[in-house]
Amino acid sequence: MGGRAERATFLATVVVLAGSAFAAELTHKEFHFKVHRHSSVSILNEYGPISVRPVSGHQVIVNAVLHSARVTVDSNQRGSRVEIVSHLLPGATAESGKVDYDVQLPADARVTLDSSTGPLYAEGLRGDIVLVGNTGTVEVRNVSSGHVHIKTLDGPVNLTNVTDGHVEITSVGGQIAMKSVSGPLVQVNSNKGNIAYDGDFGGGGQYLLVTNSGNIEAIAPALASIDVVAESVKGKVVNDFSLQPAHSSFVERAGSAFAGTLGKAASSVKLLSFSGKIHLKKRP
Amino acid sequence: MTCEEFHRVLPELGSGNSLERVAHLRSCSQCAGLLADLNEIARQARHLQASDEPGPQVWDSIEIALRNEGLIRGGIAMPALEAHSLEDEVHLQSCQPCATVRADLDAISEQARLLQGGETPSPRVWNSIEIALRNEGLIRQLEVEGPRIRHASPSWKLAWLAPLAAAAAVILGIVMFEYSDGRQGSAHTTDLASVAPAQSQDSTANPEEEQMVRLVAERMPALGAAFEADLKAVNDYIREAESSARANPQDETARQHLMSAYGQRAMIYEMAMDRSLQ
């Protein structure tokens, strides 16, 4: 009887250890794809980070680190369209189902990244970028000419040196920070997240920053060329500039709404908040 | 045989009708009524003098009838059509094809009400209607059981009756629409002051949204609470934006907030769908 009990204990221990090993196993996979110009790459990874950067040549290189055997990576290529999907197996959790992606692709590729936990990172690209996340951080750096579309629930969004393209960000609770972001269209729609803009509002573009309860802080140079409207329905509005009056039907209300122009008013800037505070700051 | 099938073969009815058609007529009072109306039109038509074009008074009659229903200004009551409305209503409750036809007429009627009353259409308009109906084949020889319709000579057609019948059908649909018990009257308007707040008054009262939140929570438990909180925040935003827009319908900023709020909700719905399907 004692021998039988010991054997049972031993077997149970082996099973537990084997399961742990099964769950903790890290697997590295690499994929190579040959593509043509203006390729399209999409990566759907429910749990884990995705990082994208440019590489020379017409190729897509995907390095994936799987955190357990409860997730697999499915790849599919149709011409120059590449799709990578993290396939969760039964019993996968946010930890065991995690995959870390590091992707290198042509700078002109169209990129779509979707991750629930993120973070998502893209830099040095010239093609269109679509980033969808829930709670993870979304970061874009040194992107020009391409359109950047970002959707997130509560994840922070950081854009640095994004120029000459359309920027559209929709977020509910994520903090949004933009530094040196300019282009023909910059549109940010936030609910309770704050929006911080530090740039020149250049490019003769249209800038629309809207929040529900989040605050908006916009820092612009003294020589900015903008036609600005700022209004908070229930919050306060502060302006550090001496604006020229604008010929429009906009009704100014001291402390809650102002409008005017700076320089040649090349760019249109609208800062709107329902109950948040708006501050248009002059860069020292 | 269904009503839809019967309507399809209606122009081909003659002395040798199938048992199926006869059986349908005996069981369907609406189709029998329709056939009786057409028989009466045919009988009356034989007494009319031949002419190449219907007289102006015919088009005037159509115009008056359409004015009566508000498709153009003015109106004279058409009490004869009301006699069919209750019977039609009973039939519509049991007959899906006819209910579908009625729904289409409802939609036409509702959209037509948005049209502004204009000046009296020129005779060319009525001619255009006639030509269009001819091209659609609505103008054809009609053979019915019992009384026979004399085949029209090329110089005289029943064509002018077709627009009258078409107008009568439209008017019938409108009258049926007017007497509908289940009609939900809601004028389409772009005026933000009339935006209905019902759907966003209580951010947790929408059963579809509750189900969506539940699905997301089941699929991704770690995300459920945050998702629900975000959806509530967005719905609150929509409610406040609607209130502001209603108070200031001409305010562009209010409109922008409303669009932004709805854009956020659309994003949440889309993400919820994607997460649920993954």
Pairwise CB contact (< 8 Å): B226 & A212 = no
Q: Are residues B38 and B161 in the same domain?
A: yes
Summarize pLDDT for A53-78 with one digit per residue, the tens.
Answer: 999 999 999 999 999 999 999 999 99
pLDDT at B79: 43
pLDDT of residue B28: 87
Please give the pLDDT value at position B264. 96
Q: Mean of the pLDDT values across residues B12-26?
A: 70
Tell the residue number behind the tokens 């002109």, with chain if given: A108
Same domain, B198 and B221: yes
What percentage of residues in chain A have a pLDDT greater than 90?
82
Tell me, what's the pLDDT at B69?
Answer: 62
Do residue B79 and residue B111 come from a single domain? Answer: yes
Q: Are residues B173 and B247 in the same domain?
A: no
What is the mean predicted confidence (pLDDT) over B200-222? 73
Q: How far apart are CA A64 and CA A49, in angstroms?
A: 10
Q: Do residues B130 and B23 share a domain?
A: yes
In whole angstroms, what is the distance from residue B238 CA to residue A76 CA? 41
**Same domain for B170 and B203:** no
Residues of A in contact with B220 (CB under 8 A): 116
pLDDT score, position B200: 45
Residue A183 lies in a domain: yes
pLDDT in tens, B68-78: 766 555 444 44
Give a yes or no: residue A269 inside a domain: yes
Is the per-residue pLDDT at B188 higher than 50?
no
Query: Which CB contacts under 8 angstroms, 24+ apart, belong to A94-98?
Result: A94/A47, A94/B222, A95/A47, A95/A67, A95/A68, A96/A23, A96/A67, A96/A68, A96/A70, A96/A71, A97/A46, A97/A47, A97/A67, A97/A68, A97/A70, A97/A71, A98/A47, A98/A48, A98/A67, A98/A68, A98/A71
pLDDT at residue B183 is higher than 60: no
pLDDT at residue B85 in the model:
63
Comparing B30 with B265, the larger pLDDT belongs to: B265
| Within-domain flag for B170 | yes
Residue B78 belongs to some domain of the structure: yes
**pLDDT higher than 60, residue B267:** yes
Contact yes or no for B230/A172 (Cβ under 8 A): yes
Q: pTM for the complete prediction? A: 0.62
- Answer yes or no: is B63 within a domain: yes
* pLDDT in the model for residue B173: 53
Query: Which residues of chain A, if any, have pLDDT below 50?
Result: 1, 21, 23
Tell me, yes or no, whether B184 lies in a domain.
no
State which residues form the domain around A249.
156-284
B44 and B69 housed in the same domain: yes
Yes or no, beta carbons of B264 and A274 under 8 Å apart: no
B112 and B10 co-located in one domain: yes
Q: What gap in Å lies between CA A31 and CA A50, rounded to an integer? A: 15
- Round to whole Å and give the CA distance between A247 and A121: 42
Q: Do B240 and A114 touch (CB under 8 A)?
A: no
Q: Where does the pLDDT of residue B52 fall: very low under 50, low under 70, confident under 90, or very high at 90 and above? A: low
pLDDT at B148: 43
How far apart (Å, rounded) are the C-alpha atoms in residues B163 and A25? 78
A192 contacts in chain B (CB < 8 Å): 233
Judged by DSSP in three states, A2 sits in helix
Residue A189 distance to chain B (closest CA, Å): 6
Residue B183 lies in a domain: no
Looking at the structure, tell me whether residues B23 and B94 fall in a common domain: yes
Which residues span the domain enclosing B244?
Answer: 192-277
For residue B223, tell me if it sits in a domain: yes
Is residue A199 situated within a structural domain?
Answer: yes
Residue in the structure block whose two tokens are 């085949």: B151
Q: How many Cα atoms within 13 Å fall on the side-chain side of residue B50?
A: 8
Q: What pLDDT, on a 0 to 100 scale, did the predictor assign at position B221? A: 78
Lowest model confidence (mean pLDDT) among A11-15, A225-229, B39-43, B55-59: A11-15
| The pLDDT value given to residue B73 | 55
Q: Domain count of chain B?
A: 2
pLDDT tens-digit readout, B116-159: 544 555 666 666 667 666 766 656 554 444 444 444 444 445 55
Res. B111: pLDDT tops 70: no
- Are B63 and B149 members of one domain? yes
- Flag whether A105 is in a domain: no
ipTM associated with this complex: 0.86
pLDDT tens string B191-203: 444 444 444 444 4
Does B90 share its domain with B139? yes
Does B173 share its domain with B222?
A: no
Rounded Cα–Cα distance for residues B1 and B21 (Å): 7
Q: How far apart are CA B88 and CA B85, in angstroms?
A: 5
Type of residue found at A37: R
Residue in A11, A70, A17, A82 with CA at minimum distance from that of residue A46? A70
Q: pLDDT tens digits for B65-110?
A: 677 766 555 444 444 444 456 677 778 788 888 888 788 777 776 6
Q: How far is B194 from chain A (nearest CA, A)?
A: 21
**B185 part of a folded domain:** no
- Residues 28..67 of A with a Cβ closer than 8 Å to B: which? 44, 46
Decide if B22 is inside a domain: yes
Average pLDDT for B11-19: 61
A149 domain-assigned: no
Q: Where are the alpha helices (DSSP H) in B52-95?
A: 56-68, 85-94
Counting the structural domains of chain A, the total is 1
pLDDT: which is higher, B28 or A72: A72
Specify the DSSP class assigned to residue B127.
H
